[in-house]
Amino acid sequence: MTTFTKGVTPSTEKYDGSSLRVLIVHTRWNYEIVEALVRGATETMTSEYNVKAENISVQSVSGSYELPFAAQSLIKASKMGTQWFNVVICIGVLIKGSTMHFEYIAEAVSQGIMRVSLDSGVPIVFGVLTCLDDEQALERAGLGNKESKHNHGIDWGRCAVEMGVKNHKWMSGTI
Ligand code: RBF
């Protein structure tokens, strides 16, 4: 069988996040899992890319459905001040139940986050897990018992630094 390396190949560039301003908006639904993802993203940005802890603003909302609105409001507020966010990470965990809620929320949140990002011109990392059961959610936050567990927050932190640095460069006319 042909195999391949799953997931993202690390960038060969070494990004400097020391002047980045990052906004993390996370949910309090499924908080123990969300907390691990937020920690994975935050620790990666500070330890691997020199992002300053004081330049990471962390805000919470109730559930994933609220993420696009909160991101939009906070981006607007930051633009009114002098300190823009270079990049945003929206973090939430949706777990499928027995009704159709999962489908409606997942669709609305993914479309909403993309819309806010394109309309605002601020890159937003899609840090929302859409899991079919609890075990999938735990495994993707680096929790649980399986050997294959991996904290996706780490990837979101890396993606945020790359997009924040690249977008800053692109917007200043350097490609
Ligand atoms: N929010 C999440 O972030 N993850 C979920 O798994 C989740 N499941 C929900 C299931 C139901 C039946 C309901 C009513 C809400 C759920 N929410 C969930 C909350 C939702 O994102 C939002 O906060 C509320 O609907 C209020 O707008």
Please, how many CA atoms are within 13 Å of residue 66, restricted to the half-sphere of its CB?
Answer: 12
Q: Pocket residues for ligand 1 (CB within 6 Å)?
A: 27, 29-30, 62-66, 92-95, 97, 99, 101, 105
Atom 18 of ligand 1: nearest residue by CA position: 63
Where in 29-160 does DSSP place strands (E)? 56-61, 87-95, 124-131
Tens-digit pLDDT profile for residues 4-29: 888 889 889 999 999 999 999 999 99
Question: Can you list the domains of the chain with their CATH numbers?
Answer: 22-172 (3.40.50.960)
Tens-digit pLDDT profile for residues 67-109: 999 999 999 999 998 779 999 999 999 999 999 999 999 999 9
In the numeric block, the tokens 């990052």 are attached to: 22
* pTM flag (> 0.75): yes
Per-residue CA distances from 152 to 22, 72, 76 (Å): 17, 23, 27
Rg (Cα) of the chain, in Å, rounded?
16
Active site (catalytic) residues: 101
Handedness of CA 60, 130, 157, 74 (dihedral sign): negative
Q: Which of 90, 114, 79 is nearest to 34 (CA)?
A: 90
Atom 4 of ligand 1: nearest residue by CA position: 94
pLDDT band at 146 (very low <50, low <70, confident <90, very high): confident
Atom 12 of ligand 1: nearest residue by CA position: 101
Measured in Å, residue 30 CA sits from the centre of ligand 1 at: 10
